[in-house]
Structure 1
Amino acid sequence: MKIGEASRISGVSARSLRHYEDEGLIVPGRCGNGFRDYCQSTVDRVLVIRSLLESGLPVRLIRDVLPQLTDSASASAAGTESVCAEFLDEVRSHRDRLAARIAVLSAQQAALDAYLRDARGDR
């Protein structure tokens, strides 16, 4: 599919798709005329990238962790022995910050739910 369709399906702008390519996060195929050609697996990868970016993971970490998240064959073959401890610490730290944010958001959601119940008179 062309970049416009990949953009529509993934919900990611064409500009972002080009940026992901520039950063080495995706490698779309090329048609004979030089146009980018996106397959479904690349669009699926874009959705993972978007999710990771929205969680606040920096591109440099996404570039390293992405193959482990999207290529089950390489994930089992690579294992964690080949991943440096510093990188794992960074990912763990990001995960812990994300868990803390989730806890705060869950508490806020519970407070809003309670407020709405009280406002409706549900007790």
Structure 2
Amino acid sequence: MRIGELAARTGVSVRLLRYYEEQGLLEPRRPAGGQRRYDEDAPTVVRNIRALLGAGLSTSAIRDVLPCVNGDGAVAACMLEVLEQRLDLIDTQMLALGASRVALAGIVAAARQEAGTAAEPVPA
């Protein structure tokens, strides 16, 4: 299938499909005419890329993980360590964001008190 058909079947723009190709995530064939031709499994590959991006993986991590993704989107155990590392990183970032939120809420509360504004609780 051509890139336009792949875009239509997946809801992903042609520009983004080209980006996936540049990142080594999607590999078309190029027959003698030079136009991109994608295999029939390309829509599944694109959906898997989108799911992995949605899970917070970078394109470089996806490039490593993608060969271990089954047709149904399940990731084989060969990438478990990479996925666990990413999960740990997200947990660390969430803790840091929580601490930043607490600090900022304190600053906002102090600023409200200084301004004489009613001390409304900062929404969580």
Under a length normalisation based on structure 1, what TM-score does the superposition of the two structures give?
0.60
The separation in 1 between residues aligned to 2:91 and 2:70, in whole angstroms, is 22
The separation in 2 between residues aligned to 1:11 and 1:58, in whole angstroms, is 20
**Structure with a larger share of its residues in helix:** 1
Please tell me the residue identity of whatever aligns with 2:48: V
The separation in 2 between residues aligned to 1:53 and 1:88, in whole angstroms, is 12
Match of 1:41 in 2: 41
The separation in 2 between residues aligned to 1:43 and 1:84, in whole angstroms, is 24
Gaps of 5+ in 2: 93-124
Match of 1:2 in 2: 2
SS at match of 1:36: coil
Match of 1:26 in 2: 26
Matched residue count: 90
User: Aligned-pair RMSD on alpha carbons?
Assistant: 2.8
Q: Which structure's relative contact order is higher, taking Cα pairs within 8 Å and 6+ residues apart?
A: 1
Match of 2:59 in 1: 59
Q: Aligned match of 1:93 in 53, 72, 88?
A: 88
The separation in 2 between residues aligned to 1:94 and 1:25, in whole angstroms, is 23
SS at match of 2:41: helix
Gaps of 5+ in 1: 98-123
Percent identical pairs in the alignment equals: 38
The separation in 1 between residues aligned to 2:80 and 2:46, in whole angstroms, is 25
Over alpha carbons, which structure has the higher Rg?
2
Deviation of 1:41 after TM superposition, in Å, equals: 1.1
CA contact (8 A) 2:4 2:14 kept: yes
